[in-house]
Structure 1
Amino acid sequence: MAPEPLVSIGFIAKRTGNAVSLIRYYANEGLIPFVRTSGGNRAFPRSVIRRVSFILIAQNMGYSLAQIKSLLSTLPDSRTPTQDDWTKLSTVFNQHIDAKIAALTSLKTSLEGCIGCGCLSLERCRLYNNDDKVAARGSGAQLLDDNVQSQFLISNKK
């Protein structure tokens, strides 16, 4: 198989509708592969266009760059990802989406009662957070945050 043709950072920026600085940032963060030309410029496999699009979609869905990097690490850097490669990634991504849907459904259901922050239902919170022990872990809905994070970690290990 012939190596994938390389394109400039400007080409990637134009095709994805983003600033060159954003493409450079993604490259520096290890989200997209690149090589240096003999002149020291960055050159990118053309398939990086799909990766950048995936990054933008995932960010819009609330994924952190660390989570996106973990997902993208399943794709090969040395060749254009195949349909099978993207299918495997989408399977993992779909598991994450399902976990997010479950967490959002749980939040929607619990908004009428307690959302794990200790402020809405003192009677119910005694079951989950007796004497407000969770407060030592920081502000915000710590129990809810734990549920969302654990769902991501569980689905990421599959």
Structure 2
Amino acid sequence: MEPVLTMQQMVRRSGVEASALRYYESLGLIAAERSGGGQRRFPRSMLRRVAFIVFAQRVGLSLDEIGRELAKLPTGRVPKGEDWSRLSENWTSRIDERIAELRRLKAGLTDCISCGCLSLDQCALSNPDDRAGRLGPGPRYWLGQRSMKTL
């Protein structure tokens, strides 16, 4: 039988608050058994699932996406390293997209701070005559659409 951890032990070992663990359990992302007194007892293998959830959220996956990924794990046995690797092998492109987005945000923030107006509607340097508005709704510059010369 697999060793079990109390809620306190899970919190201490995972670094995740008890309320989040209960929420993950309610979503079916992790599972716990109940003691005779109704207290949660987590199989030790749930630590790896919690680590996966935390990492996947930082990559940008939603809890629904994480649930779909976790559903791909084998049932009837504790997942092995290759099982976890298979889940994350397609994340490289998502991480690269995230890095590019953060670089755009950083560049946009620097441009706005150096200008001082903080208004793309009025900014004569970054958006003369509100040219960005012609590209469509949303933060066009942050989405990587910087070229206004064609407008």
* CA offsets 1:26-63 (integer angstroms, 9 cap, x no match): 11111112222333222111011111112112212222
1:105 deviates by 4.7
- Alignment of 1:44 with 2:42, yes or no, is yes
Q: Which runs of 5+ in 1 are unaligned?
A: 112-118, 126-131, 146-158
Deviation at 1:21, TM superposition (A): 1.6
Report the alpha carbon displacement of residue 121 of structure 1 after superposing the two structures with TM.
Answer: 6.3
Checking the alignment, whether the CA contact within 8 Å between 2:4 and 2:42 is kept in structure 1 is yes
- Report the residue type matching 2:92 in the other structure: I
Report how many residues are paired: 117
- Give 5+ residue unaligned stretches, structure 2: 109-130, 144-151
Rate the CA distance shift 1:103–1:82 in 2: closer, same or farther, 3 A: closer
5 Å matches for 1:1-158? 3-76=1-74, 78-91=76-89, 95-99=90-94, 101-102=96-97, 105=100, 120=132, 122=134, 125=135, 140=138
Larger Rg: 2
More helix per residue = 1
- After TM superposition, the runs of 4+ consecutive aligned structure 1 residues lying more than 4 A away are 102-108
Q: Which amino acid aligns with 1:15?
A: R
TM-score, structure 1 normalization: 0.58
